Structure 1
């Protein structure tokens, strides 16, 4: 994938190979450049705008052109407390000749899931640091634009051509020209050549006259003979000059070929074959012919003295006879021989001028290519790594983990100034003072602090007006988010979510992709600015923060109702969601759903391994859930069940985001129940005012407006999560987005609560599990309950006694 700007640069490369306009046709530079494959190289560079081909390493034989690229694939995997590097094909790495080759560009192509690009590339660099001493070993992540690799490939091709140009310039003869011209004149100005040309010249004088091999053509009037002779001589001079021009051009080209063959170049380049320049020949022919005709015309005017006049008047002449044509040939040859030194002198000046002009034109092309090549220069690997290490250093500030109020931080450049932006859960002056005075933070760094709003605070910001989006456009936007989501999160560490919306583009309301980010102007170290468009759609960039929910407060009962507060004994933070039943070994068991990050301590392992809890050795994970989680110095919580299934991440063939856990009740619910059918998204019309209902441990019963089913939240790890230091992130594809109506729809402690579609404010069908919310915009993210039920093989129900809300 190549950026539009780079595509334009590659498409413009032909202009850099063009010689200046030559109205006098005194240069044969274009012909020389063509002979050394200028058109081929320009074409190869232009092709880079469409595709960058990677050669199979097993098919590298060492005779490839510079700029050829081959890939060495590695996977970066999250392994508990470190990033592992795994070679996809270890055999490729055993070819030392390939690794040491300075001709072939080797690219370590990095593949990873839910990991930041910068952290993965830095990990690979440290793994193979010794190999990166080679200038032809590059590092690339699959999610990045391949601009840098394409630039380096083009740069290598142009550099090769510049070396060839330098050789060409050294090969163009200067001191040898006099000898070349003199020998060419001797070779061309012979009696045989003049006679052969005159014999074979087919003359036309109002009608076909012919050659010596045609019938006789008798002329009885001297003016006719004179006219035919003039035509014959001029034609002979023109052809002899063309022969001369061809000989000079050929000898110059042969001299260049020989000189190129003695230089330190590849076999193909030494075996150069330069086509003879038609332009060169035509220019020489025209200039010398004009000079020779200027010598002949005065002779021609005086070629018929009085005696001859009567001779031609009374004696007929056969202009096709070998006798007459031989006489004309000898006269012409004598005239040329008499002035041969002048001809050679004039010719040498002309050839020297043409070679000088050719040299100037080639130097012009060399300068043009240098200017073009400068646009393909890339940052040195050492400099890149130093930038990545700045980012790493900010994440590893000593003592940072002791300040629990620090939620996240990003370091980078804003308006060319080095910035460290710190996000706090509260106005923690101890943490602020600690960071401001931290000795490991460079003095030139400006530190900014942001206190994230409490979810319990009423938001008074204006809601974004939602304009209607056509269904087909919404589907395309949804696919774009699906295609680009993980790529964006991996490349841009400040992005916390993607969604569908509208924005004002030059006074027109246009469907767009919303990018939620921590700071729209700060570019983290090692990253590029946020994209302005994605697959042709404009991006509306909005600043926000995202978190999971948490709370402490509830009642004591053995069977929590939907919305009750539940959690792990050591960290109770969520709500009970939908009631559910499952058939396990033929025995029906009841329980409830909540969020995985609420009920399973190993939810991050589930995320990075992309497995269900049941696919692991479940006996190792005995997660008991309490109703009314522990408050400080409170031992009144009741253990009510055990986590039987959970999943956190993107599940199934469509990679739909799920954050859910099924808790089996220890005390099985024997109450009468009614099975519920999950909502079918195909029945939803987001253009309507779809009102949904949620029951949560913190906010209780709340209503919201369903906006869309294609949002993608991305939650950053906490600072005490090793994934934060290693560049991990947790994103969830294809989530519902619900907007607050009159008050908060979702607050701390509501994670895991069930969300229903409604009719007349009464619940109708289960929609999903609420698990996260933005901080600035009043939007809650809900994972799809139909996918949860399918993944966990559950049936949803409600008890008949508690059907009314």
Structure 2
């Protein structure tokens, strides 16, 4: 069958065949016409349009398959009409306009949720549950769990409760019935994944109560490059740039000094004073702030390295084993790697190599990962630049400035290379996108909010000012699979060379024998 609908000023038509599910690039305007925020009957045609919208959404916003899913809402269980929704699950909610997803796409509602975001219902019920007694006949066996998990992908837990929650709506009072029930915990309540049925209302005669909850282990995860960090004494947030090593076991985080140090401490004497500053360093894990170390040494001022350079850097010592990096190679996050020129699924990694920038080089591909703007790509536009950086004083509305000398300037043609919150990020150059090994060129410290020029301190000046060896990063090894992949490549190359030499020698031997063979005439 054929479908046609008019859009000014053109008419757009779609030829549809019932045996084709992936029908390619259907225009978004056509999809919106059919899907626009309404309840519809679940037919083969509606499924086809939904899958086309899903494909376009994935492509336009560069999302992986496991970071979003299509679901539907129902008016009631007696109705066959469904309202489809795009549910996006992210480790981190976008904080800038460039990252923010639209509230609707092709007429479908877009629901963006953090990995551990819930509506608070389970938390609100906890205190009341202790007042009631659970029916002793209510038990959950393995077969119930297996059946539910097989039929529903949105489940995060299955438990029991002595109370049934009714009509929960945020902070407004809601009704609790003293009825023992089976509780199905899910990530997103009210949206059923496409292709699945709603949760059952009763199981073995007991009512089912659906609540949002995302359980997680109480253990902290190891720190990552790009983590959000701050001091407990201030509101400024920045980025965990990377790890450096002193001796055989001592591990430090590297970031910008102004992220963690109160402004009145920012001076040339900072190097010997961090341990005098009474502050705790925190990093954000899920939705919580966890202590992750203490200030060790820093530098905020000018040094002479080829020319005058201003350094704004500090180290945070890591004494607790849970706060030390577990990998011998630092893999950077994969979220939106294509924004930095990498292919989808690439794993950029850093083994500690640095690259000294001695002059303006506009040919370099420069990338960074920061907690605010994630992966970005840019080009050098200036070298040995000067800028006056303004800081907000401890009193609101008051500012002071510091002069920054000898900075590398980077900009991006496709948006912001960095924004407030990215201070402390390591900045890299990448030479081969097929083997995405990164080489560090500097530490990000400031951004011009008018021109979006980003100021980066050369990494050698940073290391020297902190009394670190130039190989402070290089205790990291290449990824295991890459190391052995390279060995295999070298072995294959050697085999090819040997076979080539054997073939060449055989050809020469045959040619030599032909020349020396007796010649007979044919009569």
TM bucket, shorter chain: 0.3 to 0.5
**TM-score for the superposition, normalised by structure 1:** 0.27
Q: Which has the larger radius of gyration?
A: 1
Choose between structure 1 and 2 for higher RCO, CA contacts under 8 A separated by at least 6 residues: 1
Please report the TM-score for the alignment, with normalisation by the length of structure 2. 0.41
Q: Comparing both structures, which one devotes a greater share of its residues to strand? A: 2
